[in-house]
């Protein structure tokens, strides 16, 4: 498809300039996009999934517009320390030590989980998925270049980037909006426990302590690369020193992406990226989602219903639809109420799409200007990938489809063909939803109704102190794979 054949011009919000900008690729017809991938030391969580779903939407739309996209998303399998700085233990090595297995067993286990979850959410695989450990040589070469330019220093086998030296001719903090003076003022004085000249400096290479499992030889020591370095090495290798889009979660803007810019400008002497894009975070019941507080839920727990947070199980495509109902740059809160409302909307959309083939065709179209509606769908996506506005437009089509079915509107054969083509492209190709009809959910709803009757009977038995009957209901449901869970808000169930 020719890129110029589609309506409108794509605008992208650039985190670097803090404004929407007309998208102009470096090479006409081609897009290079790099997105920071997961650190594979635990199961992928929903915050990660939301970020990757956002960039899957972007990837899908760019491809739909006719661009040939090289999408690079890395796997961090070494070098990511516990506090995202230059101290503590490598997260993967720590997990390996605690579980008494090899670090690469940890990497393999959680990389498989990552791919499995993203496949359930119907995410397209990237063009290239490089690993940090597969690019140690490239990272060492970048360090050599930065050292040769006097913007890094080696101490006791470790190499650090000299932020203050770099800032003499560049601007460290331009992405996050931080000023070097404020960073200096807000950091404590070094206490002699570190080899850094300044607290703002960050590691390019760390000398491995004797107990450190993951290590590689380098000109400075047996050690491992700093966390920030891998993305610079892999993005420049596969996309060049200057490419179109770099994305990631909002939490990566500082220090990770700020350090990437500094490394790239120091080694390549040019700005690395034209458009920086950041997806916002998830909250759960109004609170930040975090494993440390217990306020989190894993994707498979959502799909099975086996959790203490949500009222029922939700299909992956319903959860994806829920995520896309919010703009990628806005905070999104998970709750049972919001997901249940989204589920109803999802099946309403799917039922309308499935109804298209059964509509009676007329000589003319009345009730919806389909050509204008199609333009509005493109306008939504061209406005910084505004999926919630697109979804609102899709529901305008749902209303029209139901009106045609009820004889209140009319559609011509030509109009029906354009309607079918457009709604399929935006729903399945661009939003990436899977076609699940409400009939596929009917059996689940009926089961839920039956179990609710039994839960009410059990509650009545307990109120009458008939604990034998109460236990019998619970045990017989458990025998057929239905687990009851009593909580402060009542009894819920999950199925095995």
Domain ranges, ordered by start, for the chain: 20-279, 283-430, 441-495
Q: What is the DSSP string of 14-35?
A: ETTTTEEEE---SSTTEEEEEE
Tens-of-pLDDT digits for all 496 residues of the chain? 455 455 679 999 999 999 999 999 999 999 999 999 999 999 998 989 999 999 999 999 999 999 999 999 999 998 676 554 556 678 888 888 888 889 899 999 999 999 999 999 999 999 999 999 999 999 999 999 999 999 999 999 999 999 999 999 999 999 999 988 877 766 554 444 578 999 999 999 999 988 888 899 999 999 999 989 999 999 999 999 999 999 999 999 999 999 999 999 999 999 999 999 999 999 987 887 766 677 788 999 999 998 888 889 999 999 999 999 999 999 999 999 999 999 999 999 999 999 999 999 999 999 999 999 999 999 999 999 999 999 999 999 999 999 999 999 999 999 999 999 999 999 999 999 999 876 656 555 667 778 878 888 888 888 888 888 988 898 888 888 788 888 766 787 766 5
In what order do the strands lie in the sheet containing 273-279? Answer: 68-73, 30-35, 243-249, 273-279
The 10 Å Cβ neighbour count of residue 27 is: 11
User: Quick one: tokens of 481?
Assistant: 């794979």
Helix axes 467-479, 439-463, angle to 10 degrees: 160
Report the alpha-carbon distance of residue 496 to residue 485 in Å, rounded: 13
Helix (H) or strand (E) segment spanning residue 73 = strand 68-73
Report the alpha-carbon distance of residue 80 to residue 190 in Å, rounded: 22
Q: Output the CATH code of domain 20-279.
A: 3.40.50.620
Beta strand pairing status for 19-22 and 30-35?
unpaired
Residue carrying structure tokens 């000109």: 219
Cβ(365)–Cβ(412) below 8 Å: yes
Report CA 331 to chain centroid distance, whole Å. Answer: 13
Report the alpha-carbon distance of residue 465 to residue 174 in Å, rounded: 67
Candidates 373, 366, 357; CA nearest to 420 is 357
**Surface-to-core class of residue 39, CB atoms within 10 Å of its CB (0-12 exposed, 13-18 middle, 19+ buried):** buried
Helix (H) or strand (E) segment spanning residue 493 = strand 490-495
pLDDT for 442 equals 56
**Surface-to-core class of residue 261, CB atoms within 10 Å of its CB (0-12 exposed, 13-18 middle, 19+ buried):** buried
pLDDT for 190 equals 47
Provide the whole-model pTM. Answer: 0.86
Quickly list H helices, 176-216: 180-185
pLDDT for 432 equals 98
Helix axes 370-382, 387-405, angle to 10 degrees: 160
**Class for the domain spanning 283-430:** mainly alpha
DSSP state of 169: T
Cβ(404)–Cβ(367) below 8 Å: yes
pLDDT for 4 equals 47
User: Quick one: tokens of 477?
Assistant: 């449901």
């Amino acid at each position: 498809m020719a890129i110029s054949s589609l309506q409108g011009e794509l605008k992208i919000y650039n985190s670097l300039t803090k404004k929407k900008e007309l998208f102009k690729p470096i090479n006409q017809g081609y897009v290079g996009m790099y997105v920071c991938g997961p650190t594979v030391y635990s199961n992928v969580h929903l915050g990660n999934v939301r970020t990757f779903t956002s960039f899957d939407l972007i990837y899908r739309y760019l491809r739909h517009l006719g661009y040939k996209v090289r999408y690079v998303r890395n796997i961090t399998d070494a070098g990511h320390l516990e506090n995202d700085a230059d101290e503590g233990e490598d997260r993967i090595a720590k997990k390996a030590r605690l579980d008494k297995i090899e670090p690469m067993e940890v990497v393999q286990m959680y990389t498989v989980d990552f791919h499995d979850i993203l496949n359930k959410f119907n995410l397209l695989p990237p063009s290239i998925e490089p690993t940090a450990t597969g690019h140690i040589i490239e990272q060492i070469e970048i360090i050599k270049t930065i050292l040769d330019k006097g913007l890094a220093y080696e101490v006791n086998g470790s190499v650090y980037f000299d932020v203050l030296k770099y800032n003499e001719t560049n601007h460290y903090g331009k992405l996050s909006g931080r000023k070097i003076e404020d960073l200096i003022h807000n950091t404590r004085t070094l206490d002699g426990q570190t080899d850094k000249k300044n607290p703002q400096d960050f590691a390019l290479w760390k000398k491995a302590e004797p107990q450190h499992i993951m290590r590689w030889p380098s000109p400075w020591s047996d050690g491992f690369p700093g966390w920030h370095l891998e993305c610079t090495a892999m993005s420049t290798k596969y996309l060049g020193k200057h490419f179109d889009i770099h994305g990631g979660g909002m939490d990566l803007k500082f220090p990770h992406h700020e350090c990437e810019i500094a490394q790239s400008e120091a080694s390549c002497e040019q700005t690395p990226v034209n458009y920086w894009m950041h997806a916002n975070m998830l909250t759960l019941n109004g609170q930040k989602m975090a494993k440390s507080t217990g306020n989190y839920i894993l994707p498979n727990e959502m799909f099975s219903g086996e959790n203490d947070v949500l009222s029922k199980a939700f299909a992956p495509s319903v959860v994806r639809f829920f995520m896309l109902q919010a703009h990628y740059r806005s905070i999104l809160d998970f709750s049972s109420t919001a997901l249940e409302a989204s589920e109803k909307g999802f099946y309403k959309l799917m039922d309308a799409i499935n109804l298209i083939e059964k509509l009676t065709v007329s000589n003319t179209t009345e009730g919806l200007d389909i050509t204008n509606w199609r333009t509005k769908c493109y306008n939504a996506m061209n406005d910084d990938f505004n999926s919630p506005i697109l979804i609102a437009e899709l529901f305008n089509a749902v209303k029209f489809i139901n009106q045609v079915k009820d004889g209140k509107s009319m559609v011509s054969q030509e109009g029906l063909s354009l309607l079918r083509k457009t709604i399929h492209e935006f729903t399945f190709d661009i939003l990436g939803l899977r076609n699940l009809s409400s009939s596929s959910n009917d059996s689940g709803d009926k089961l839920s109704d039956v179990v609710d009757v039994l839960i009410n009977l059990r509650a009545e038995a307990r109120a009458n102190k008939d604990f034998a009957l109460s236990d019998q209901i619970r045990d017989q449901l458990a025998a057929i794979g239905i687990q009851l869970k009593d909580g402060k808000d009542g009894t819920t169930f999950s199925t095995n």
